[in-house]
Chains A and B, each alone.
Chain A
Amino acid sequence: MDSKGVKDEEMELLVADLLEVYGYDFTNYARASLKRRLNRLYALDGFPSFAEFRYRIKSDPDYLKRFVEEITVNVTEMFRDPQFYKKLREEVLPVLATYPLIRIWHAGCSTGEEVYSMAIVLSEMGLLQKSLLYATDLNPDVLEVARTGIYSLNHMKLHSENYIASGGTKDFSSYYTAKYDRAKFKDSLKGKMIYATHNLVSDKSFNEFQLILCRNVLIYFDKDLQEKVLHLFDQSLEQLGFLALGSKETIRFSGIATKYKQLEGEKVWRKTK
């Protein structure tokens, strides 16, 4: 074994501490990624020993915030996988348009780029006013960013390209105002967003939705936790509702699979039973 860095047994100690002291349950996170991120943080913050790393996490709630932020993967972008948003525009939202109220859940929304993308599509289809976008994450700090809707101006080129590739035809820059190196998204997009912390491991279903998005979250979980969370989504999804996952995630091996039918070409399933 590598002498420096966090060992397997030490990782398990931390996982147990986090559950005991803070109620954060990382027990069923995929180990290789978790260990990599622990080691990355351990090196980044220059801890002289594992004991000090452990003590800091257990005794310093401010450090815990940084810990959770760095241990989870928050990487996201607007209109991530443009073809997916095209599918939403062309096949999913036209169906939901016939409903009086559209309830959408973004589970693991990170800093909110996915939620703003959805709001843009809904507004272009004239559906935003009758929609509610519940956006949740276990990390309160990313939700704070999401609430402000302020992002780096540097990213707008990529976001704008994605938007166009997803079938958007407006001038993307009309959705935000640029100031210094920041882009602030319009308040008119935010009115229907509701942000709250929700831990997919330990919190229950809190509503019924017509559309649930949980993209690029399940890959960080082991198979058992993936299965558990898929059941949570199944419980929270209305008959004929839609479930959308990340481009490398699937319900294929899950117990809920038989109740769902996949839309062609994208990781979107419709609940048919």
Chain B
Amino acid sequence: MAQDEVNGCKLLVIGGSAGSLEVLLQVFPHLRKDLAFPIVVIMHRKAAAESTLEDLLNSKTQLKVKEADDKETIRPGVIYIAPADYHVLIEKDGTLSLDASEKINYCRPAIDITFETAADSLGPALTCLLLSGANADGANGLRSAASLGARILIQDPTTSDVSYMPQAGLAAVKSATVLAIKEISGTINSL
């Protein structure tokens, strides 16, 4: 996609549920230190496990990992994790907003909301990556992100712990790039 190369990636949003933590733990150690864009991670998780997820991910990468704060400006090379029980929205001024509105697909944070608002703010400068998971959250968001020109990456369902989510994503965006786990870090590093 030549057009994406010209625009350059300004944000990567990663969504995942059951079976996706394992993927992040494998991918994060290989991310380049000088990543030129921020990463926002939306993972379904239990409210109790709050801070341990950051600690765990922080130990796997040289990039800074932090929980997303309301109205915080997102910066290149930083990985933001959605807090339990809040949706994360990407504003046009490059800040994040948190939102505790109704669950979507029984999920809060919902991957759909972040994909949709990020695409509305960034269009072709956005890359979305959907990982393993057991429900269809993310699929609608991928569809609208694709229609706004975002680049869509999906974990290969056959290498996914739980294939339901990536399959739903693929059904929504047939032109998505399908990646095996070992291809993910290389792809992110060259976005």
* A and B associate in one complex: yes
Q: Do A31 and B91 contact each other (CB < 8 Å), given the known contacts A2-B147, A75-B100, A75-B102? A: yes
Interface code A11-39, partner B: CB below 8 Å = 1, 0 otherwise? 00000000000000000001111011100
Cα distance, A226 to B97, chains bound together (Å): 12
A220 interfacial contact with B, CB 8 Å: yes
Partner of A220, one of B83, B99, B116, B148: B99
Contact of A1 with B148 at beta-carbon distance under 8 Å, contacts A32-B117, A32-B120 already known: yes
Q: How far is the CA of A93 from the CA of B97 in the complex (A)?
A: 32
Decide: B97 and A33 in contact? CB cutoff 8 A. Answer: yes
Check A32 against B121 for contact (C-beta < 8 Å): yes
Residues on B with C-beta less than 8 A from A246 are 100
Q: Is the CB of A33 within 8 A of B99?
A: yes
Query: A248–B99 Cα gap in the complex (Å)?
Result: 10
A2 pairs with B70, CB closer than 8 A: no
Q: B92 — which chain A residues lie within 8 A by C-beta?
A: 8, 31-32
- Label chain B's interface by main secondary structure: mixed
Q: Could you tell me how many residues of chain B have their Cβ less than 8 Å away from some Cβ of chain A?
A: 24
Identify which of residues 131-188 in chain B touch chain A, using a CB-to-CB cut-off of 8 Å: 144, 147-148
Could you give, for residues 236-263 of chain A, a 1 whenever the CB lies within 8 Å of some chain B CB and a 0 otherwise? 0000000000101110000000000000
State whether the Cβ of A216 lies closer than 8 Å to any Cβ in chain B: yes
Which residues of chain A are near B113, meaning CB under 8 Å? 36
Contact of A35 among B69, B70, B100, B120 (CB under 8 A): B120
> In the assembled complex, which residues on chain B have CB atoms less than 8 Å from the CB atom of A101?
none
Q: Does A95 contact B (CB under 8 A)?
A: no
Measured CB to CB, the closest approach of chain B to A254, in angstroms, equals 11
Give the total of A residues in contact with B, Cβ under 8 Å. Answer: 23
A36 to B110, CA, bound (A): 13
* Nearest Cβ on chain A to B93's Cβ, whole angstroms: 8
Q: Tell me whether A223 is interfacial, beta carbon within 8 Å.
A: yes
Which of chain A's residues have a CB closer than 8 A to the CB of B100?
A: 73, 75, 216, 219, 246
Closest residue on chain A to residue B148 by CB atoms: A2
Tell whether, in the assembled complex, residue A75 and residue B91 are in contact, meaning their CB atoms are under 8 Å apart.
Answer: no
The CA-CA distance from A32 to B116 in the complex, in Å, is 10
Contact partner of A36 (CB less than 8 A), chosen from B70, B89, B98, is B89
* Contact of B90 with A by CB under 8 A: yes
Contact at A223–B69, with CB atoms within 8 Å?
no
Q: B86 an interface residue at 8 Å Cβ cutoff?
A: yes
Contacts of A75 in B (CB 8 A): 100-102
Q: Once the chains bind, are A222 and B70 in contact (CB under 8 Å)?
A: no
Q: Are B144 and A2 in contact (CB under 8 A)?
A: yes
Nearest chain B CB to A61 CB, angstrom units: 25
Nearest chain A CB to B87's CB is how many angstroms away?
8
Q: 21 pairs across A/B with beta carbons < 8 Å? A: A1-B148, A2-B144, A30-B89, A30-B97, A31-B91, A32-B97, A33-B89, A36-B113, A73-B99, A75-B101, A219-B70, A219-B86, A219-B97, A219-B100, A220-B97, A246-B100, A248-B70, A248-B86, A248-B98, A249-B70, A250-B69
Which B residues are within 8 Å of any A CB, using their own CB?
69-71, 83, 86, 89-92, 95, 97-102, 113, 116-117, 120-121, 144, 147-148
Given contacts A2-B144, A32-B89, A248-B69, 15 further A-B contacts (CB under 8 A): A1-B148, A2-B148, A30-B71, A30-B97, A32-B92, A33-B89, A36-B116, A73-B101, A216-B100, A218-B70, A219-B86, A223-B95, A246-B100, A248-B70, A250-B70
